[in-house]
């Protein structure tokens, strides 16, 4: 059986890598878990490992925070000798954080096969660092593991080979369904004196929303107006805590500490509506059948709008208030996309273990007749091609 390195670095990765590791190990693969340490705050790290039952990492790189270049460079510098020492057949990276791109680049040059979980997601918003990370990671990957048909179609449009693209479903939902009963047993509603269906849940963490005081002030104004109709609970992301304190939070918005995975799922499952700028929350609310209003102008997960409970509101305060009122008056019907069935990780493991070993599978540009990199690079940077709100 092959040796497979699975990489995680931050909260959005943990829910994605756990079911993949489990599925591979059930099939007898040797799995080496590498934690880059991109998230190192216990509230954003340790509690999720405990909640999800993730074993201690085999290797911890401890890269910490910094600018995008510093963080990416530190991960690459630490991961390169590890890869040489471990000599895996396959490296699995998930999502779109800096650790994902850094480990992908090192792997592509070192020789093992590279698998990208959540390949093909596109916001077409190049101001998002995550968009750069996911596009570049896909470019150097051997296995493109797409969570939804739109993601697979994005990859075909960009010129990837059909044998690279695998529509496997959403691993986030594997974790959600496996832990939903435990989450529903959480006492977090009692701790915060909340009643099911009588509060809204808010998450804010994206730089475009929390780093610009003018934008954040506008969002808080909208949230304050919404809170007059539906009280809001806002678990405070470390990125946003200081800025929220500086600006001040309107009445009706209750700030609470960051929640662990089980507690946060319990809050989502019990909320009347969720307001978020998180891609993962868009997916989780769709799976739970809970109305979601996304505080962004675009989404890399349009399936949550087309086949789920998500509505894009943008960042204009007037539009946000109007959208939330409409959702509260007429909630979208619960819908769950195909292949969001809790079996995505099994399909991923089957794909990876059926393939060749390092050095035997051609890279994307090695194939004669492929449209290759030029077909994507020659396209204009699509800043005006966003999923419509």
Indicate which residues carry an active-site annotation. Answer: 205
For the chain, report the end-to-end CA distance as a whole number of angstroms.
Answer: 47
Q: What is the DSSP string of 276-344?
A: ES-HHHHHHHHHHT--EEE-SS--S-THHHHSSSEEE--S-HHHHHHHHHHHHHSPPPP---TT-SS-H
The CA distance from 255 to 179, in Å, is 25
The CA distance from 262 to 52, in Å, is 8
The CA distance from 244 to 226, in Å, is 17
* Residue 153 · residue 30 · CB < 8 Å: no
Q: How many CB atoms lie within 10 A of CB 364?
A: 19
Residue at token pair 């090192």: 106
Tallying the residues shown for the chain, one arrives at 389
């Amino acid at each position: 059986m092959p040796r497979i390195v699975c990489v995680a670095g931050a909260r959005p990765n943990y829910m994605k890598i756990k079911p993949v590791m489990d599925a591979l190990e059930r099939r007898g693969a040797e799995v080496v878990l590498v934690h880059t340490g991109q998230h190192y705050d216990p509230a954003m790290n340790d509690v999720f490992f405990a909640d999800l039952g993730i074993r201690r990492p085999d290797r911890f790189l401890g890269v910490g925070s910094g600018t995008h270049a510093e963080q990416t460079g530190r991960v690459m510098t630490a991961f390169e000798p590890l890869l040489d020492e471990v000599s895996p057949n396959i490296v699995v990276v998930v999502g779109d954080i800096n650790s994902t791109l850094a480990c992908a680049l090192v792997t592509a040059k070192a020789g093992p096969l590279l698998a990208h979980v959540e390949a093909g997601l596109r916001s077409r918003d190049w101001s998002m660092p995550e968009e750069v990370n996911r596009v570049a990671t896909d470019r150097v990957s051997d296995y493109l593991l797409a969570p939804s048909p739109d993601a697979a179609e994005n990859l075909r449009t960009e010129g990837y080979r059909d044998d690279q693209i695998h529509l496997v479903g959403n691993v986030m939902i594997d974790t959600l369904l496996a832990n939903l009963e435990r989450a529903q047993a959480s006492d977090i509603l009692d701790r915060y004196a909340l009643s099911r269906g009588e509060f809204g849940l808010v998450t804010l963490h994206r730089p475009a929303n929390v780093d610009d005081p003018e934008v954040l002030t506008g969002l808080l104004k909208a949230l304050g107006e919404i809170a007059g109709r539906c009280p809001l609970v806002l678990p405070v992301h470390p990125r946003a805590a200081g800025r929220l304190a500086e600006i001040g939070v309107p009445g009706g918005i209750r700030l609470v500490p960051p929640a662990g995975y089980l507690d946060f799922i319990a809050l989502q499952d019990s909320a009347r509506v969720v307001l978020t700028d998180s891609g993962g929350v868009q997916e989780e609310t769709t799976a739970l059948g809970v109305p979601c209003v996304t505080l962004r102008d675009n989404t890399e997960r349009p399936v949550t709008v087309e086949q789920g409970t998500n509505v894009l509101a943008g960042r204009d305060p007037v539009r946000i208030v109007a959208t939330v009122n409409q959702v509260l008056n007429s909630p979208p019907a619960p819908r769950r996309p195909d292949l969001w069935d809790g079996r995505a990780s099994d399909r991923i493991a089957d794909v990876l273990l059926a393939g060749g070993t390092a050095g035997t599978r051609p890279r994307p540009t090695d194939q004669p007749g492929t449209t290759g990199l030029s077909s994507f690079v020659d396209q204009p940077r699509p800043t005006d091609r966003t999923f419509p709100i």
